[in-house]
Structure 1
Amino acid sequence: PGLEGMGEGEAFLPFCTTKPAGTGLGLPIAQRGVEEHGGRIAFDPNWPKGGCVVVELPQAALRPGGGPQGPHENRAKVA
């Protein structure tokens, strides 16, 4: 269970894995997405019974006239 033998610095390195068939891309991809949304992701390898990943995201901003932005109003084009 968890990421036994892996420190926080290693957990977010691409292609670093503890699984025989793992790609080591899950946490690096998650980190990129969280940071692109103004958040933070951290890994505690010493949490009881395995590692613990903590994700913090900022609260959604409200538009001046009402609720949160629609799903297409805040997208960036990826080339």
Structure 2
Amino acid sequence: MSTTGKVRNIGITYPGLEPPKSTCTDDKCPWHGSVSVRGLILEGVVVKARMTRTVTVEREYLKYSSKFKRYERR
């Protein structure tokens, strides 16, 4: 990893989300690679982080059940 390099603007402003200080050679890095960031920013709790560059995120939301006429937490 070198310390100089160009950082791409990924188009998302979020408090605490900053580009890395050093340049990386990872192709899946949104600032230095070729991955585009689209869609929503999801908030949740990281449950597993066992594989390389992969995490399992658990988020809670409510789903309406028309049969029972109430919401269930998922």
Q: State if a TM-score over 0.5 links the two structures.
A: no
- Which has the larger helix fraction? 1
TM-score normalized by the length of structure 2? 0.30
- Which has the larger strand fraction? 2
Structure with bigger gyration radius: 2
Q: Which of 1 and 2 has higher RCO (CA within 8 Å, sep 6+)?
A: 1
TM-score normalized by the length of structure 1? 0.29
